[in-house]
Amino acid sequence: MRLDELTEGLVASPLAVSGITADSRAVRAGMIFAALPGARADGRDFIGAAVAAGAVAVLAPRGTMWPADVPARPLIEADDPRRMLALFAARMAGAQPAMVVAVTGTNGKTSTVDFLRQFWGARGASLGTLGLVAPGFPQGDSLTTPDPVTLHGTLASLARAGITHLAMEASSHGLDQRRLDGVRLAAAGFSNLTRDHLDYHGSMHAYRAAKLRLFDTLLPEGSLAAHSTTLDAETQAALRAIAVRRNLRLIAAGEGDAAIRIIAARPLPAGQALTLDVHGTRAEAALPLPGRFQADNVVLAMALADMPVAALLAALPGLHGVRGRMELAAETRGAAAYVDFAHTPDALERVLLALRPHTAGKLFCVFGAGGDRDTGKRPLMGAVVARLADRAIITDDNPRSENPALIRAAIRAACPDTLEIGDRRAAIAAALDELRAGDVLVVAGKGHESGQTAQGITTPFDDAAVIRELVA
């Protein structure tokens, strides 16, 4: 692409442009260098290095002074250079999947985009915390919202491979830093907003504004917007005002007068039985996922999927949760066994409270604590499990360099009547052996991890795989 084409006439130069980057170390001949000020370094300090490496032009904030000792190159000045970087990356990459849906929110983004991918089947993909999940592609690194150059390169690769639908997470950082600019969105969703990332945004007002940018700037006018009814009233009001001003088709999913409404949710050991109203169609559906929050994420995905009601309802029984997050590993003798990444007192409390309604019998928990990490949380974790579980087994997590017996002892101080089995496989086996109809087991701490680390050695260990082997 020529420089004058890429900049849409801002720079009248027929020079060929081979790429764009904000990393001076990645500059190669023919590339544009985006000299952006950052938290740790100012890209304008590296203009000389970029030109020496072959940069044909430089993108920088308006008012940038060209270094006196650097050979002249076209300087593209912008009031919002991060946005321009993203727009240039989009123009250079070209193709995108026909339907791109972005989901923002404090919690629930990962599950919602993964449910969307599952609804779409072979034509769909998801991108976010789990990396890139798409047929025919290796799973990429975990990154909620990639940098714009990487993102638009990925979109083009997906489109060339025949992927027509993509669901992606939109983090507040990514929105604020213009990483999603240039993405041709068909729809956007908002799950919820609770206190988080105030170290970056400074206030809840700024945090909310960053997420609302998805709807008031990036989503094209007249597009579909959906939100969960778990979204707080203030944010819902702001979203409705944006929808009116920009003619967005705003729908709600969850409770009340939502377009996709959960009328009733009956907990079962291996999931829940839902009564739904989907755009006026009442239906009973089995959802193999525990926790009311999972049902909320599912109906938000249904609102964004752009599929016939019958197809959405038919897909519900086959949905599976995000790996390692309240993941149903196996069912045995009428009981259910889950694995979860919960490794803090708060996370343990949340997972045990979420599973309690699904427990007709006893709630079991196998857990430990990681070594070389916060030692103060160990008795707190023990206290949570002692309070909320009916039966618990303390075991080893990832002891790392510490003595695992001392870690278990610190946990046991807050739950002295708990069984202790250091060998994690043996502890899981003991819990499974006790399960009876109506019981629920959660093996907590490692979730999606595939190894156990002790004394510098990591050996293969996957909680879900071990559960399935033992049940079999």
pLDDT digits (tens, 9 = 90+) for 374-383: 899 999 999 9
Percent pLDDT > 90 in the chain is 86
- pLDDT at site 143: 65
Higher pLDDT, 270 or 365: 365
- The CA distance from 141 to 133, in Å, is 10
Task: Please write the tens of the pLDDT for every residue from 70-82.
Answer: 999 999 999 999 9
- The CA distance from 121 to 307, in Å, is 12
- pLDDT at site 301: 98
Task: Please write the tens of the pLDDT for every residue from 139-170.
Answer: 776 666 789 999 999 999 999 999 999 999 99
Res 309 pLDDT > 90: yes
Res 431 pLDDT > 90: yes
> Which residues, 6 or more positions from 45, have their beta carbon under 8 angstroms from its beta carbon?
none
- The CA distance from 147 to 178, in Å, is 9
Q: Alpha-carbon torsion 370, 376, 378, 384, what sign?
A: negative
- pLDDT at site 137: 92
Res 293 pLDDT > 90: no
- pLDDT at site 144: 67
> Which residues, 6 or more positions from 306, have their beta carbon under 8 angstroms from its beta carbon?
99, 186, 187, 224
User: Cα 43 vs. chain centroid, distance in angstroms?
Assistant: 29
- pLDDT at site 39: 79
Radius of gyration of the chain (CA): 25
- pLDDT at site 343: 87
- pLDDT at site 82: 96
251: confidence class by pLDDT, cuts 50, 70, 90: very high
317: confidence class by pLDDT, cuts 50, 70, 90: very high
Average pLDDT of the residues in 199-212: 93
Percent pLDDT > 70 in the chain is 99
Record the tokens describing residue 88, joined without a space. 């240039």
Average pLDDT of the residues in 32-42: 92
108: confidence class by pLDDT, cuts 50, 70, 90: confident
Res 226 pLDDT > 80: yes
121: confidence class by pLDDT, cuts 50, 70, 90: very high
- pLDDT at site 30: 96
Residue closest to 133 by CA, chosen among 116, 152, 153, 156: 116
Task: Please write the tens of the pLDDT for every residue from 381-407.
Answer: 999 999 999 999 999 999 999 999 999
Record the tokens describing residue 389, joined without a space. 């579980």
DSSP one-letter string for 153-164: HHHHHHHHTT--
Res 443 pLDDT > 70: yes
Record the tokens describing residue 253, joined without a space. 């999913």
Higher pLDDT, 194 or 261: 261
Question: What is the set of domains in the chain, with CATH numbers?
Answer: 3-79 (3.40.1390.10), 92-318 (3.40.1190.10), 327-471 (3.90.190.20)
What's this model's pTM, rounded to 2 decimal places?
Answer: 0.83
25: confidence class by pLDDT, cuts 50, 70, 90: very high
Averaged confidence pLDDT in the chain: 94
**How many other CB atoms sit within 10 Å of the CB of residue 265?**
18
Res 364 pLDDT > 70: yes
Owner of token pair 């946990």: 411
Q: Which helix (H) or strand (E) holds 58?
A: strand 57-61
- pLDDT at site 40: 86
